[in-house]
């Protein structure tokens, strides 16, 4: 799923007291920074220099233009020289896009031998950035501050991380989740206020009866399934196992029928994520397993048992991570032995193959829930590395993101009698502390696991959305 090729607008703050020549130097330095940031290859999105701002009127006009240009994902600012922050109040109050304050200096050293007042008039970010930051703090803009020399790799990486979540912020208001069936009966943690989700997160959450989906699924042609089967076999290992050839191929082909039907339904109606519920499958032969996995691979969000909050989170974090190693997950079972303490993450079918460390296998096995035919699914092993694991919970006072840093490992052994994809992880703070703090915070069992995103990106993204974050680290 393609994301718009966004850009970020960059402006520099100053004032008239220094004179026209100094302002020309300010503009030249700022433009040089922007050009070199773009040339660095570190930033995922282009930065566009929009000039030097010296008046409240000019700043306000600029911010309005940024708001209403759909190609602009956010604004970047820098106070090269001293800019009286009252000039920024009106425009900053009006800004509805993510804001990054780059607190930097054009030169990374102090020229002790030559420094004079002319130099100082052009290099006053040390106090200009503080004057400007004060007003943002007072306006409670929840803006990002990146501090350090603009030419350093770590600073550029911070900007890049922020750009990715700023784009996710903008795209969050385009997320549309379709629910086929309601949430699983009597389950609490998957519930939430859909109106508040749209107010704060921008998500539209709609219900459609399964019968409407069935029409799309049944309308997929055999030729379309043939092409999808060929593509599937070129990507994954086809494992017939104990099934007859006919049974195996029928199950796989039906999952591809569901995949194509779901995709067509969502694409026609503008949805970017979906939920299913094994308690509501009337008219379908199988619970979507492989079908859901392939759609997640393609970038659609997914939540099981009607969990639309996880579907929205899945889609949102996939955007921020460019759909790299970011997956719907569930706390499946536990290893509580000393020295082995870990959570085995999985789901009964629907685990995203973007986290696979080996070539996924297309297998067909019975499913002891839902009362439908044996579904095909991708079976694979997760990967090693550091990741974040997050969930979205709803409380009387609104939404809260709960998450922690985790150390991920491959499962210690195969599970020949449990044919599911699986990932092992342990909270960085330890299983006992991590699990206790997670549960005290009210975090659920459905999560989004990402090897691509960092804790700070989670905090930045939901800070932009004005959603509380309880991150355990």
Per-domain residue ranges of the chain: 7-172, 176-472
Bridge partners of 9, per DSSP, are: 48, 75
Burial of residue 361 (CB within 10 Å: 0-12, 13-18, 19+) is: middle
The per-residue pLDDT string of the chain (473 residues; one tens digit each, 9 = 90 and over) reads: 778 789 999 999 877 766 677 778 888 999 999 999 999 999 999 999 999 988 999 999 999 999 999 999 999 999 888 788 889 999 999 999 999 999 998 888 898 999 888 787 777 777 889 999 999 999 998 899 999 999 999 999 999 999 999 999 999 999 999 999 888 888 878 888 999 999 999 999 999 999 999 999 999 999 999 999 999 999 999 999 999 999 999 999 999 999 999 999 999 999 999 999 988 888 899 999 999 999 999 999 999 998 999 999 999 999 999 999 999 999 999 999 999 999 999 998 899 999 999 999 999 999 877 788 899 999 999 999 999 999 999 999 999 999 999 999 999 998 999 999 999 999 999 999 999 999 999 999 999 999 999 999 999 999 999 999 999 99
- Does residue 232 contact residue 251 with C-beta atoms inside 8 Å? no
β-strands 7-13, 72-78 pairing: parallel
The fold of 7-172 is Rossmann fold (3.40.50)
- State CA 462 to chain mean position distance: 10
Name the maximum alpha-carbon separation found in the chain: 85
pTM across the whole model: 0.94
In the numeric block, the tokens 């050839």 are attached to: 245
The backbone torsions φ and ψ at residue 343, rounded to the nearest 5 degrees and listed phi first, read -105, 130
The fold of 176-472 is L-fucose Isomerase; Chain A, domain 2 (3.40.275)
Question: Tokens in use for 203?
Answer: 């998500």
C-alpha 387/C-alpha 432 separation (Å) is 18
Nearest C-alpha neighbor of 1 from the set 395, 326, 297, 241: 297
Question: Tokens in use for 303?
Answer: 């939540």
**CB contact burial 382-391 (16+ within 10 A = b; e otherwise):** bbeeebbbbb
């Amino acid at each position: 799923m393609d994301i718009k090729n966004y850009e970020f607008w960059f402006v520099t703050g100053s004032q008239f007291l220094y004179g026209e020549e100094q302002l020309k130097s300010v503009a030249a330095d700022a433009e040089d920074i922007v050009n070199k940031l773009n040339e660095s290859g570190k930033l995922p999105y282009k930065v566009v220099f929009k000039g030097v701002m010296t008046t409240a009127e000019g700043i306000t006009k600029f911010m309005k233009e940024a708001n209403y240009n759909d190609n602009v994902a956010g604004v970047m600012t820098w106070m090269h020289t001293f800019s009286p922050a009252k000039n920024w109040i009106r425009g900053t109050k009006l800004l509805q896009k993510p804001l990054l304050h780059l607190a930097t200096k054009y030169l990374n050293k102090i020229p002790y031998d030559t420094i004079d007042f002319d130099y100082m008039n052009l290099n006053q970010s040390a106090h200009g950035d503080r004057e400007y930051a004060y007003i943002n703090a007072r306006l409670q803009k929840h803006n990002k501050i990146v501090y350090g020399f603009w030419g350093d790799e770590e600073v550029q990486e911070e900007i890049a991380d922020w750009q990715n979540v700023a784009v996710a912020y903008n795209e969050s208001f385009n997320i549309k989740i379709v629910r086929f069936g309601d949430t699983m009966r009597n389950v609490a943690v998957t519930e939430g206020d859909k109106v508040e989700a749209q107010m704060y997160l921008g998500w539209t959450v709609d219900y459609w009866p399964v019968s409407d989906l069935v029409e799309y699924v049944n309308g997929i042609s055999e030729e379309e399934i043939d092409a999808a089967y060929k593509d599937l076999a070129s990507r994954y290992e086809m494992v017939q196992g104990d099934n007859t050839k006919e049974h195996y191929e029928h199950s796989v082909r039906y999952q591809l029928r569901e995949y194509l039907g779901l995709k067509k339904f969502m694409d026609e109606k503008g949805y970017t994520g979906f939920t299913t519920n094994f308690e509501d499958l009337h008219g379908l032969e199988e619970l979507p397993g492989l079908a859901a996995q392939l759609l997640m691979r393609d970038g659609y969000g997914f939540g099981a048992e009607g969990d639309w909050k996880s579907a929205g989170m899945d889609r949102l974090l996939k955007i921020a991570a460019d759909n790299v190693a970011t997956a719907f997950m569930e706390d499946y079972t536990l290893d509580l032995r000393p020295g082995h303490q870990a959570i085995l993450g999985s789901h009964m079918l629907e685990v995203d193959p973007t986290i696979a460390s080996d070539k996924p296998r297309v297998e067909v096995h019975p499913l002891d829930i839902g009362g439908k035919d044996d579904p095909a699914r991708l079976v694979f092993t997760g990967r090693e590395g550091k990741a974040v694991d997050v969930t979205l919970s709803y409380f009387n006072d609104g939404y809260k993101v709960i998450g922690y840093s985790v150390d991920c490992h491959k499962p210690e052994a195969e599970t020949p009698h449990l044919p599911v994809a699986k990932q092992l992880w342990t909270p960085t703070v330890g299983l006992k502390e991590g699990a206790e703090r997670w549960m005290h915070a009210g975090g659920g069992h459905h999560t989004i696991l990402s090897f691509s995103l960092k804790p700070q990106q989670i905090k930045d993204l939901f800070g932009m959305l004005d959603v509380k974050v309880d991150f355990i680290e």
